[in-house]
């Protein structure tokens, strides 16, 4: 298949196989509401086959980084609907990445009254940026009580409902990078002795129930999942990621999801792409450090059906067109990745003829 050819993934229709990967850019306001420049940013990139949004919190507890957006109140839904309308007006498609950070948070980045919760009271080693105090240690999390877990799962369901109300075409479960579902999966962060911990069946239960909750809203054909087995990001550690993800994917495949989005990680103990192919061979999206040439090859060979690109989209809003026309790519400025305002965000122009 050609990288520019259209693709159907469950109920999602993509006009090409160049997907924009989810990227947190910290341009939401202090109330976790998307801002007007976010409308421009996503509109500029709407020629991607599919845009996967930056991580969006399903609840105030799910926020952890500064100026990141949520999708749990009417103002947020209204603001997201302006973004999806802009993308649709350009003929694009957009999925909301639902991201609950769990223990990867600092209270300075969270609204008053919210809490930092996790499977167990195990603090992540490391620091996180805050506007008020610069780099700060991660919070000491509070372990979720058994009766609170359905409440968190309901937040995934209601966030999905809100995402569809806001016009998103689908939702993606962020199930890697050390955030809440990954904290449940991993032996280093999950010390529970109830049915949400212990063996692989217990540790995968939360992620599978979150997927089921999301699928209950508009069907599994509008739900995807993002994974990166053995990813150590944010102090994540699992004794046997092969066993964990084999079981997770085997069960997730039964749900008939729209897609599996896999970040390759050659330094890890698992061949992530081979694992994804085993269970989601016909609806696999690959990511991490792909060039246009390599992406074209893995799509043409049938190993994956699409590739997502993060960094290339930052300074190249018209990435698809640049590749189609064999034009050079622009470099992005690291300094403005997470700063406020349009500079280094919507200021990158399309290629001038
Ligand atoms: C600025 C930035 C923010 C990111 N934020 C997220 C995020 O919110 N959710 C997520 O799943 N991945 C996030 N990522 C990871 C990217 O989706 C992607 O996996 C990574 O950039 C590797 O792909 P690439 O080599 O095409 O850039 C982020 C990456 C960057 C550079």
Tens digit of pLDDT for each residue in 158-188? Answer: 999 999 999 999 999 999 999 999 999 999 9
pLDDT in tens, 247-299: 999 999 999 999 999 999 999 999 999 999 999 999 999 999 999 999 999 99
Closest ligand 1 atom number to CA of residue 287: 23
Helix H or strand E segment including 96: strand 94-98
Say how many C-beta atoms besides its own lie within 10 A of residue 294's C-beta.
12
CA distances in angstroms from 140 to 34, 117, 122, 128, 198, listed in the order given: 28, 9, 7, 13, 22
Q: What is the mean pLDDT of residues 342-346?
A: 98
Q: Is 23 in the pocket of ligand 1 (CB under 6 A)?
A: yes
| Confidence (pLDDT) at 135 | 98
Average pLDDT, the chain: 98
Nearest CA to ligand 1 atom 31: 311
| Confidence (pLDDT) at 52 | 99
Closest ligand 1 atom number to CA of residue 311: 27
DSSP, res 340: S
pTM metric for this prediction: 0.98
Nearest CA to ligand 1 atom 13: 23
Residue 292 phi/psi, 5-degree rounding, is: -60, -45
Cα–ligand 1 centroid distance for 58 (angstroms): 19
Secondary structure of residue 78 in the 3-state scheme: helix
Let me know: does 55 contact 163? Beta carbons within 8 Å: no
Cα–ligand 1 centroid distance for 23 (angstroms): 5
| Confidence (pLDDT) at 352 | 82
Let me know: does 152 contact 144? Beta carbons within 8 Å: yes
Let me know: does 211 contact 260? Beta carbons within 8 Å: no
d(CA 38, CA 220): 28
- Closest by Cα among 346, 266, 335 to 313: 346
Flag whether pLDDT at 353 surpasses 70.
no
DSSP, res 232: -
Handedness of CA 197, 205, 95, 269 (dihedral sign): positive
Helix H or strand E segment including 249: helix 241-253
If one residue of 19, 21, 334, 336 were mutated to test the ligand 1 pocket, choosing by the most ligand atoms within 8 A of its CB, it would be 21
DSSP, res 306: E
d(CA 253, CA 261): 13
Handedness of CA 215, 222, 69, 137 (dihedral sign): positive
Band of the pLDDT at 342, cuts 50, 70, 90?
very high
Q: Is 337 in the pocket of ligand 1 (CB under 6 A)?
A: yes
If one residue of 310, 311, 338 were mutated to test the ligand 1 pocket, choosing by the most ligand atoms within 8 A of its CB, it would be 310
Nearest CA to ligand 1 atom 28: 23
d(CA 141, CA 45): 36
| Confidence (pLDDT) at 267 | 96
Q: What letters, b where the CB count within 10 A reaches 16 and e where it falls short, cover 171-185?
A: bbbbbbbbbbbbbbb
Burial (CB count within 10 angstroms: exposed 0-12, middle 13-18, buried 19+), residue 164: middle
| Confidence (pLDDT) at 131 | 97
Label the pairing between strands 7-9 and 12-14: antiparallel
Cα–ligand 1 centroid distance for 150 (angstroms): 29
Tell me, rounded to whole angstroms, the distance of Cα 281 from its chain centroid.
20
Flag whether pLDDT at 118 surpasses 80.
yes
If one residue of 17, 22, 173, 285 were mutated to test the ligand 1 pocket, choosing by the most ligand atoms within 8 A of its CB, it would be 22
Q: Which residues contact 232 (CB under 8 A, 6 or more apart)?
A: none
- Indicate which residues carry an active-site annotation: 179
Nearest CA to ligand 1 atom 20: 310
Residue 74 phi/psi, 5-degree rounding, is: -60, -35
Residue 138 phi/psi, 5-degree rounding, is: -60, 150
Secondary structure of residue 245 in the 3-state scheme: helix
Flag whether pLDDT at 224 surpasses 90.
yes
Closest ligand 1 atom number to CA of residue 338: 1
Q: Is 289 in the pocket of ligand 1 (CB under 6 A)?
A: yes
Secondary structure of residue 285 in the 3-state scheme: strand
């Amino acid at each position: 298949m050609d990288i520019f050819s259209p693709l159907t993934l469950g109920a999602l229709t993509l006009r090409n196989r160049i997907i924009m990967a989810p990227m947190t850019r910290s341009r939401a306001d202090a109330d976790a509401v998307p801002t007007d420049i976010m409308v421009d940013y996503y509109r500029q990139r709407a020629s991607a086959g599919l845009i996967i949004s930056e991580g969006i919190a399903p609840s105030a507890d799910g926020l952890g980084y500064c100026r990141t957006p949520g999708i749990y109140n009417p103002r947020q839904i209204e603001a997201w609907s302006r973004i999806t309308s802009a993308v649709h007006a350009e003929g694009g498609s957009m999925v909301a990445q639902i991201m609950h950070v769990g223990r990867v948070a600092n209270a300075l980045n969270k609204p008053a009254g919210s809490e930092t919760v996790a499977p167990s009271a195990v603090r992540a080693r490391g620091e996180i940026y805050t506007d008020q105090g610069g780099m700060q240690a991660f919070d000491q999390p509070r372990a979720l009580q058994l009766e609170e877990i359905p409440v968190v799962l309901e937040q995934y369901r209601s966030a999905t409902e809100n995402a569809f109300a806001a016009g998103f075409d689908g939702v993606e479960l962020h199930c890697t990078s050390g955030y809440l579902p990954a904290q449940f999966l991993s032996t280093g962060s999950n010390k529970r002795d109830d049915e949400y911990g212990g063996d692989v069946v217990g540790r995968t239960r939360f992620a599978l129930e979150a997927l089921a909750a999301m699928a209950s809203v508009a069907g599994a054909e509008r739900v995807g999942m993002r994974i990166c087995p053995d990813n150590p990001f944010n102090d994540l550690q699992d004794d046997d990621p092969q066993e964990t993800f084999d079981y997770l994917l085997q069960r997730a495949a039964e749900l008939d999801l729209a897609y599996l989005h896999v970040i390759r990680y050659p330094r890890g103990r698992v061949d992530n792409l081979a694992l994804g192919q085993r269970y989601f061979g016909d609806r696999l999206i690959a990511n991490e450090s792909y060039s246009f040439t390599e992406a074209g090859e893995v799509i043409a060979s049938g190993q994956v059906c699409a590739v997502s690109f993060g960094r290339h989209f930052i300074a190249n809003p018209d990435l698809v067109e640049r590749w189609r026309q064999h034009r050079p790519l622009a470099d992005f400025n690291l300094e403005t990745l997470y700063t406020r305002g349009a500079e280094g965000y919507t200021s990158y122009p399309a290629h001038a003829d």
